[in-house]
Amino acid sequence: MGKNKYDIKRGHFKNIEGDKLENMMEECFGSVKKEGDRLITSFGAIAHLEIWTEGKTNLWVDIEMDDDVDNKVASETISIWNDFLLKATGFDAKKRRDRAKKKAKSN
């Protein structure tokens, strides 16, 4: 999947600032290690996940998927990933998709 930038809902940054994003990741994915300003983990079908913020408006994600997992693990991973992104950005999957489409059209 590579590197992606997600918008953070206005006023939502207070929910992920400081150690809150790391705690959220641990709650969703298990153990997390910190390298500089980046949080790194792996979980289910996610072979490598690196997350960091840019200001109060952007969440950056560098993600590599493991294609050799069964459908149940893949499905559970997608569900937990979407829940995490909702908690981290304040936008559900539909809003994230709509915002990405709008940005793509304006570029």
The Cα 82–Cα 105 span in angstroms is: 24
Return the percentage of the chain with pLDDT > 90, whole number. Answer: 88
Q: What total number of domains does the chain contain?
A: 1
pLDDT above 90 (res 21): yes
Q: Which of 107, 78, 95, 68 is nearest to 6 (CA)?
A: 95
Q: What is the pTM of this model?
A: 0.91
pLDDT digits (tens, 9 = 90+) for 64-94: 999 999 999 999 999 999 999 999 999 999 9
Q: How many CB atoms lie within 10 A of CB 4?
A: 13
Which residue range is the domain that position 65 belongs to? Answer: 2-106
Query: Is the distance from CB of 25 to CB of 32 less than 8 angstroms?
Result: yes
Q: Which parts of the chain fold into alpha helices (H)?
A: 20-29, 71-89, 93-106
Contact 39, 22 (CB under 8 A): yes
Cα 27 from Cα 19, distance rounded (Å): 12
Query: Residue 70 is part of a domain; what is its CATH number?
Result: 3.30.310.190
